[in-house]
Structures are given as structure tokens and as C-alpha cells.
Amino acid sequence: MVEKLDPKFAYWHGIERTKISWYPTVDEEKCIGCKLCFVSCGRNVFDFDFQRNKAVVAKAYNCLVGCSTCATICPVNAISFPEKDLVQKIEREEKVLSKIKNKAKEKKLKLDLEKIRKKVLDTLANSKIKMEYELVGHALEKKFMEKVHDRIKDCKVDIIDIKIESSSLRGCWDFKAPSIVKFSLVSTKMEDISDYITEIDKVIGECGMIIVKKT
Ligand code: SF4
Ligand code: SF4
């Protein structure tokens, strides 16, 4: 029966995989059925015949060209491969080295981008770029929002989603009724706002506001 090729492994640097006879051969006389090759190969090259207690090469062309790990780990040397010259000869004939130059550049670029992406994600994960506040106090009387604005006007942050809930203007002014103030402090540059949080907290303290929620 012709082996059904796994499309992922159908080519090796542009060469049809079936044209490269690099795959393991199991010597059944030697195989003791330890199953190490069967469970270790990440490309499912091996199947295992439990009735006969033997490893079987089921998907030969899934084998990674040049790899011989299973032969190395087989405790009884029951697995063999062609000579390594075979791969080197194909490399020369098919000019594999010149083909992989661009691939190497692409891979390097991909790795560098991945590093940058990880760094950005780490920075974002460890940074605070938004802080939601809910406060109670005499915000209007103490000109709280004005003072907050003074503190942040030249910074890379802004205050958004502002809500001031007061029962009435006279209630605030004449009878000193407190207001509920909600807003979010956000970075306008996707940068850490920890220092600005400290500044806003100072204004909150100066105005005698009470923090109900800060998330
Ligand atoms: S590792 Fe060797 S002995 Fe063990 S099952 Fe595979 S071929 Fe057989
Ligand atoms: S050489 Fe590597 S890829 Fe090929 S069968 Fe063995 S373990 Fe699997």
C-alpha cells in the first residue's frame, strides 16, 4: 500500500519528500518491543504492533531528514538509517544551501519580531495603562476636576468617562452634600501611568475626597 503523505512533511526545502530515502528501518529480529521509538517520535513515523510486540515504520516520509534520534535511543540498536552521505549528496545536488539563505533571513526576522512582540506584551502586562476611580466628596466645592486637570495638563495621560452625580447644585453648595465622582485615568501613549496615579491620589487627598473604588 502506498503511504499517504502528511502534507506538512511532503517537501524538504522544496524537494519532494518521497525522493529522499531517509527514514528508519526496524530490524525485527533485534526489536524487543520496548516502545521507546513509538512514544518518542514527534512525527508519528512509528506504529506499534501489540500482537507481535514490534515497532513498525508506518509513515516513513514523516521522518525528519537527517534526524536519527530513534536510532540513538533504541536500547538494542534495532533501528538503522542510510549513511549521512545520502543527505549531504542531496544537499549538493539540489543546491539546498542557497535555497535556505532567504529562509534563514525570514526565520531570523520572525524570531526578532516575536521577541519584540513578547517584550511589548510583557511591558503591557506589567504596566498599568488605565485606572478607574469612584470617589465621594465635595468635588464641586473643592474644584476637584479643575485641580486634576492642572496636575495632568502637560502629561501623557487624560481623564475619560467622567461622571459627577450630585443631588442638586444648592445641595452641594448650600448644604455641603457630597457628590459621587467617577472617571478613568488613561495613558494617551499606551505607557505605564503608575506615577500619574500617585499624582491623582495626592489631589484626591488634598481635596478630602474618599476613594470608594479604584481598579
Ligand atoms: S526502540 Fe528499538 S527495541 Fe524499542 S520498540 Fe523501538 S525498535 Fe524496538
Ligand atoms: S529519526 Fe527522528 S523523526 Fe525520524 S523517525 Fe526517528 S525520531 Fe522520528
Percent of the chain with pLDDT over 70: 99
Domains of the chain: 7-96 (3.30.70.20), 130-214 (3.30.70.2690)
pLDDT: which is higher, 32 or 177: 32
68 in ligand 2 pocket by Cβ < 6 Å? yes
What's the pLDDT score for residue 175?
A: 79
- Work out the average pLDDT over 17-43: 97
Q: Cell 442638586, residue? A: 168
Higher pLDDT: 117 or 49? It is: 49
Confidence of residue 189 (pLDDT cuts 50, 70, 90): confident
Per-residue pLDDT, 48: 98
Residue 50 has pLDDT above 70, yes or no: yes
45 CB near ligand 2 (under 6 Å) = yes
Query: What gap in Å lies between CA 118 and CA 203, rounded to an integer?
Result: 36
Average pLDDT for 63-79: 97
Q: For residue 37, which ligand has an atom nearest its CA?
A: 1
Confidence tier at 166 by pLDDT (50, 70, 90): confident
pLDDT in tens, 111-148: 999 999 998 888 777 778 899 999 999 998 899 999 99
Which amino acid residue places its CA nearest to atom 2 of ligand 1? 74
pLDDT at residue 94 is higher than 60? yes
How remote is the CA of residue 54 from the centroid of ligand 1, in Å?
Answer: 7
Q: What's the number of CA atoms in the CB half-sphere (13 Å) around residue 198?
A: 3
**12 Cβ neighbours under 8 A, 6+ residues apart:** 20, 65
pLDDT at 79 over 80: yes
For atom 3 of ligand 2, which residue has the closest CA? 63
Full DSSP string of the chain: -PPPPPGGGSEETTEEGGG-----EE-TTT-----HHHHH-TT--EEEETTTTEEEE--GGGSPTT--HHHHH-TT--EE---THHHHHHHHHTTHHHHHHHHHHHHHHHHHHHHHHHHHHHHHHHS--EEEEEEEE-TTTTTHHHHHHHHHTTSSEEEEEEEEE-S-HHHHHTT---EEEEEEEEESSS---HHHHHHHHHHHHHTT-EEEEE-
Cα 101 to Cα 25, 88, 97, 115, 167, distances in angstroms: 32, 17, 7, 21, 72
23, 25, 28, 35, best to mutate for ligand 1 pocket (most atoms within 8 Å of CB): 35
pLDDT number for residue 2: 62
Distance 23 CA to ligand 2 centre (A): 7
Q: Is the CB of 66 under 6 A from ligand 2?
A: no
The rounded Å distance from CA 61 to ligand 1 centre is 19
